Structure 1
Amino acid sequence: MKVRGVNNRGSILVAVLFLAAVMGVLVAVATMSLQAGTDASRSFAESLRAEEAMRAAIEQIGALSGTTGPPRPGGTIVALGETNVEVRFYDEIARIDLNHAPVDLLAGIFRVVGVGPTEARQYAARTIDWRDSDDQLSEEGGAERTAYRAAGRIDGPRNAPFQHVAELSLVLGIPRRVAAAVAPYVTVASGSEMVNPLLADPPVLMAIPGLKEDQVRSFVDDRVHRNLAPKDLIARLGPVEDYVTDQTSKAVRYEGRVRFGGRNDRRFEVVVTTLPGDTEPYRILAWDANPPERMRQLPQ
């Protein structure tokens, strides 16, 4: 009987220790969950603060421009209390518009990112077939619904304008890596068949049919160092009038980095437009939180 009593007390002790260990684990898990929840709440709050700071910076830049049109390309730091917003902004006509550009200009930007001439032309034709409203091939190499079906796709081309640059990766045959490579040089918001070479990056200039690398290099150098009238500077590109303009659009891209008291930062890429007679100062066309790191060098 004495042995049985010792065993019972031992069993009870083991059970108590086991329960204590379980309770310890549960407390640790609960603490970790609480901490994770706190961190998530803090991150969410900072995201909201960053978004509001970016909006405030856009509104301040627009107000300082003093016009209803887009501000001139530039960059600035907007101070909002302990929060600083580093912003670069430029007209979307510096990019090639997927919804309006002709096939030659589209093929050009595909070639610039390393696609062969035949495939580049095919991708360009399929881009046009995606955006146009009919079921007719834009040219040989294009793709309408039957081609998508033959490739095992249950969908087809949108047969309507691109809503976002990322949509390019949905076009039949265009690899995601190619769509990602051209993304910094294309838009869906300028509303123009042409690009403004006074604002465009060198890769966009290289996409213009007929231009060679040495011409582009010389033009960019003149753009920086020579005080020429816009039309005179553009004339130095030669007979490319079908692809270039000195006009601007109503759409502006803002690339922003929001910093909280010098700690961490949040990045944004926002495209806005102004509409005639609109009651709002601007309309957001695209809002990309934490985009790829590619703060653009502004043309001089």
Structure 2
Amino acid sequence: MSGANSHRASLPDGRGFIVVVVLWMLAALAALALIYLSYVTNTAVTVAVGADRLQTDALVNAGLELAAYRLTTQPEATRPTSGTFNARVGAGRVSVTFRSEAARVDLNSAPKAMLAGLMTALGVSEADASVYADRILAWRSSTEPGLENPEDSYYRTLGTSYLPRHAPFPHSDELWLVRGIPSAVVERVLPFVTVFSNMKTVNVLDAAPQVVAALPGMTPETLQQVLRARADPNIDPRALVGAAGSTNATTEGSKAYRITIAAEAPSHRLSSAEIVILLLESGDEPYRVLSWHNAFDGSAGKPL
């Protein structure tokens, strides 16, 4: 009898163990369900973000094609040097601004006076601006083989791991490598320079006031006169060039254009890019991309 009683007394403990095991299994299944739900949710979000990115990328490309079409379908003599337009592409929207690179100072073609003038217009002293301009000229100027170049010696003295290129700047960002120019000055200069216009002149119709101020011989009074004159839509371009009083002033554009595109997808995701293209007069392609910079990519923002 005592053995039977002992057996019956042990049954509750066995059942309790089974209940605990079942509870652990239910908890594990719940955890797996939560993990799976989290995975599905994250996957859905990733897919949605990826789809939005594809849409905004497509809109940016559409904006580029529309701008290139507007430029290449017009004769070079009457082609606009700047402009802006908005367009709906499917359920998305794009805002496009284009401007000839002639509106910027070309690091490879501009004379010393214009390079120094730009820095002076940006707040650099005339003495320092002249030195910094010499640094740029020395970087881009060729050197005689077998002869020691003073600029090379200057870089070696500074302990740099490289020497000046002694060739044209391939990109304006290479200005960061030119020694002897403070970083703060380089940062101020970059928005106003290019390597794509291949022009010694700047377009006074489209150039920023700082670039117009860089023209050799430009005075504050003349600058204000030019800025007032170009605001007149009926101004004779030749008169405007004459008012600038510089052989480095023009109203002509270059074949390179800087295109800024802001795109908004149907989900209101925003994206933008700054692209420089070269218009081609022959061949299968109407243009060639010279530079592409994605300036901003956000999940949402203020509608265009």
Task: Establish whether TM, by shorter chain, passes 0.5.
Answer: yes
Amino acid at match of 2:201: M
Following TM superposition, by how much is the alpha carbon of 1:103 offset from its aligned partner in structure 2, in angstroms?
1.6
- Does the 8 Å CA contact 2:92/2:265 hold for their aligned counterparts? yes
What SS does structure 1 have at the residue aligned with 2:139?
A: helix
1:26 corresponds, among 13, 26, 35, to 35
TM-score by length of 2: 0.79
2:275 corresponds, among 253, 259, 270, to 270
1:122 corresponds, among 128, 131, 137, to 131
* Cα distance per residue 1:192-215 (max 9 Å; x no partner): 112122332211011223322232
2:121 paired with 1:112: yes
1:183 corresponds, among 185, 190, 215, to 190
Which residue matches 1:102? 111
CA distance in 1, matches of 2:24, 2:179: 64
Which residue matches 2:174? 167
* Cα distance per residue 1:189-241 (max 9 Å; x no partner): 11111212233221101122332223211211112237443222222233x22
2:222 paired with 1:215: yes
Amino acid at match of 1:275: L
- Does the 8 Å CA contact 2:172/2:193 hold for their aligned counterparts? yes
- Does the 8 Å CA contact 1:253/1:269 hold for their aligned counterparts? yes
* Cα distance per residue 1:221-272 (max 9 Å; x no partner): 112237443222222233x22x323433222222222233482332222222
Equivalent pairs: percent with the same residue?
A: 29
Specify whether residues 135 and 30 from structure 1 end up closer, same or farther in structure 2 by C-alpha distance, changes over 3 A only: farther
What SS does structure 1 have at the residue aligned with 2:123?
A: coil
- Does the 8 Å CA contact 2:81/2:253 hold for their aligned counterparts? no
Which residue matches 1:289? 294
Alignment of 1:68-147 (within 5 A): 70-134=79-143, 144-147=151-154
Residue ranges of structure 1 left out of the alignment (5+ in a row) = 137-141, 293-300
Bigger Cα displacement from structure 2, 262-271 vs 197-206: 262-271
Bigger Cα displacement from structure 2, 212-221 vs 43-52: 43-52
- Looking at CA atoms only, which structure, 1 or 2, has the larger radius of gyration? 2
Specify whether residues 145 and 61 from structure 1 end up closer, same or farther in structure 2 by C-alpha distance, changes over 3 A only: same
2:79 paired with 1:52: no
TM-score by length of 1: 0.79
Specify whether residues 156 and 107 from structure 1 end up closer, same or farther in structure 2 by C-alpha distance, changes over 3 A only: same
- Does the 8 Å CA contact 2:60/2:272 hold for their aligned counterparts? no
Which residue matches 1:139? none
- Does the 8 Å CA contact 1:268/1:287 hold for their aligned counterparts? yes
Q: How many residues align?
A: 285
Residue ranges of structure 2 left out of the alignment (5+ in a row) = 1-9, 298-304
CA distance in 2, matches of 1:84, 1:90: 20
What SS does structure 1 have at the residue aligned with 2:120?
A: helix
Specify whether residues 14 and 168 from structure 1 end up closer, same or farther in structure 2 by C-alpha distance, changes over 3 A only: farther
2:211 corresponds, among 199, 204, 220, to 204
What SS does structure 2 have at the residue aligned with 1:85?
A: strand
CA distance in 1, matches of 2:36, 2:112: 64
